[in-house]
Amino acid sequence: MESGLNSTTFWLAMALVLLVEGFMPFVSPSTWRQTFTQILKFSDGQLRFFGLASLLLGLLLIWWLV
């Protein structure tokens, strides 16, 4: 098996992102809209914290799976 990131792996990862991102607006648009409205009220510091936490969790998952 080929090691490293290839084109197919990248596009599969992008497809998974789209599936996850599209699930909530499709299943429950009103809940998604309320959640998004609440997120817009966060301060820059809060958004950065959640962004950093998301990045670290993603890196941890990649490290654990690979």
Q: Angle at Cα 29 formed by Cα 24 and Cα 34, nearest 5°?
A: 95
* 45 membership: H or E segment, kind and range: helix 44-65
The per-residue pLDDT for 50 is 95
pLDDT tens for the chain, 66 residues: list them. 455 667 888 899 899 999 999 999 999 999 999 999 999 999 999 999 999 999 999 999 988 988
Residue type, 19: L
Residue 6, pLDDT score: 78
How much is the pLDDT for 7? 82
CA dist 59 and 53 (Å) reads 10
